[in-house]
């Protein structure tokens, strides 16, 4: 099936494909070259007369600056934390919503809803309505239980951001993993049940291996997105207190648009690109394998 039509009468597809390729190429290469170029320059928009080639000093300045390492550590914690919550939670939820129960279709729609909420809305809803230390729901619950309300963004800034992002992306993992799960042959599960396999054994030996590839795809796609988390930090903590919830993306934003330090921000941008590309290489390879199938 779906064999390409042989002998397309010498149809040349290039004019169809070329516009997209050229435009994407420009969109990729111009910022990349400019970022690389600026990363070797001293260039601050506030004092442009001091510009000039400075070699690697932007990089050495950044790499010896503790704030970069704090931001890197925060990035790793944030990515790792949200990944752990969404992959484990998403797998369990996918298994749950794969079953038929009373109103399961409606429940499923409600469960995936958070993914469609824009990041600035979810950040503010959580920050104010839910996590506010005085007027929020969590504070009311804590008081009702006789506990001290938690000042989420003061005491646990990074953890609070992690919760918000995890809430938004749990439905994504659920949606992808559920789709993968629904393609599982139910006769196979039935056969295993006949042979006396318990639900746990079926989950461990049949369901989980079947979902393996989808889980891998979820991990990689989420990682790409989580490296660039921005709006949730921007609207809640502003990276603070101090640098406690500043990730790499936010640090570069601070340098570029608040301190107008183009050189250092660009060096940070190059570091972010390298980081993302390590993940991207794995992702592209895994998708390429599927392209032939």
Partner 1 sequence: MRLKLDRHAALSVTGWLAAGLLFFPIAWMLLTSVKTEIEAVATTPSLIFTPTLENYVAVQERADYLKFALNSVVVSFGSTLLALALAVPAAYGMAFFPTKRTRGTLLWMLSTKMMPPVGALVPVTLVFRDLGLIDTLAGLVVVYALINLPIVVWMLYTFFREIPREILEAGRMDGATPLDELRFLLLPLALPGMASTGLLAVILTWNEAFWSLNLTAAHAGPLTAFIASFSAPEGLFWAKLSAASTMAVAPILVFGWLSQRQLVRGLTFGAVK
For partner 1, the closer CB: 52 or 259: 259
Q: Is the Cβ–Cβ distance between 171 and 122 less than 8 Å?
A: no
Which range binds partner 1 by CB under 8 A, 46-54, 56-64, 185-193, 222-230? 222-230
Q: Please, what is the minimum distance in Å from the beta carbon of residue 122 to partner 1?
A: 7
Report d(CA 183, CA 174) in Å as an integer.
14
What is the rounded distance in angstroms from the CA atom of residue 183 to the CA atom of residue 112?
A: 19
Does position 148 bind partner 1 by CB under 8 A?
no
What's CA 254's distance to the chain center, in Å? 20
Q: Considering only residues 53, 102, 146, 187, which one is a binding residue for partner 1 as defined by CB under 8 A? A: 102
Contact criterion met (CB below 8 Å) for 179 and 96: no
CB 113 within 8 A of CB 167: no
| 3-state SS class at 177 | helix
| CA 78 to each of CA 5, 24, 51, 87, 244: distance values in angstroms, whole numbers, following the listed order | 48, 30, 35, 14, 11
Instruction: Rule CB under 8 A: say whether 59 interacts with partner 1.
Output: no
Q: Does 221 bind partner 1 (CB under 8 A)?
A: yes
Buried b (16+ CB within 10 A) or exposed e, 55-93: eeebbebbeeeeebebbeebbebbbebbbebbbeebbeb
CB nearer to partner 1: pick between 158 and 227? 227
Contact with partner 1 (CB under 8 A) among 40, 59, 167, 169: 167
Residues 117-146, interacting with partner 1 (CB under 8 A): 117-130, 134-135, 137, 139-140, 143
Total interface residues for partner 1 by CB under 8 A: 111
Interface positions, 4-43, toward partner 1 (CB under 8 A): 4-5, 8-9, 11-17, 19-21, 23-24, 27-28, 30-32, 34-35, 38
Report the site for partner 1 in 243-282 (rule: CB under 8 A): 248-249, 252-253, 256-257, 262, 265-266, 268-270, 272-273, 275-277, 279-280
Q: Give yes or no for residue 227 binding partner 1 (CB under 8 A).
A: yes
- Residue 166 near partner 1 by CB under 8 A: no
What stretch of H or E contains 95? helix 66-97
Query: 125 — phi, psi (to 5°)?
Result: -60, -45
Shortest distance in whole angstroms from residue 224 CB to partner 1? 6
Instruction: Return the residues of window 183-202 that contact partner 1 according to CB under 8 A.
Output: 183
Strand positions, DSSP E, the chain:
41-42, 52-53
């Amino acid at each position: 099936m779906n064999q390409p039509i042989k002998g397309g009468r010498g149809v040349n597809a290039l004019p169809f494909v070329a516009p997209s390729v050229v435009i994407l190429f420009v969109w990729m290469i111009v910022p990349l070259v400019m970022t690389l170029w600026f990363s070797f320059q001293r260039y601050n928009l506030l004092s442009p007369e001091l510009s000039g080639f400075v070699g690697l000093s932007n990089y050495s300045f950044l790499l010896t600056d503790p704030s970069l390492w704090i931001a890197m550590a925060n990035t790793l914690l944030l990515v790792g934390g949200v990944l752990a919550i969404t992959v484990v939670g998403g797998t369990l939820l996918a298994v749950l919503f794969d079953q038929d129960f009373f109103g399961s279709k409606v429940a499923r729609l409600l469960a995936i809803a958070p993914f469609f909420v824009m990041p600035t809305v979810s950040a503010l809803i959580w920050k104010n309505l839910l996590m506010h230390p005085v007027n929020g729901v969590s504070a009311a619950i804590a008081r009702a239980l006789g506990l001290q309300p938690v000042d989420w963004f003061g005491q646990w800034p990074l953890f609070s951001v992690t919760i918000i992002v995890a809430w938004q992306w749990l439905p994504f993992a659920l949606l992808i993993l559920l789709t993968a799960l629904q393609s599982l042959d139910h006769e196979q599960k039935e056969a295993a049940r006949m042979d006396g396999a318990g639900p746990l054994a079926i989950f461990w030996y049949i369901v989980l291996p079947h979902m393996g590839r989808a889980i891998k795809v979820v991990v990689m796609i989420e990682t790409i997105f989580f490296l660039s988390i921005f709006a949730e930090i921007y609207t809640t903590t502003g990276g603070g207190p101090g640098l406690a919830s500043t990730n790499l993306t936010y640090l570069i934003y601070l340098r570029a648009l608040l301190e107008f330090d183009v050189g250092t921000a660009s060096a940070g941008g190059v570091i972010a690109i390298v980081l993302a590309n390590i993940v991207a290489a794995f992702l592209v390879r895994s998708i390429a394998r599927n392209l032939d199938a």
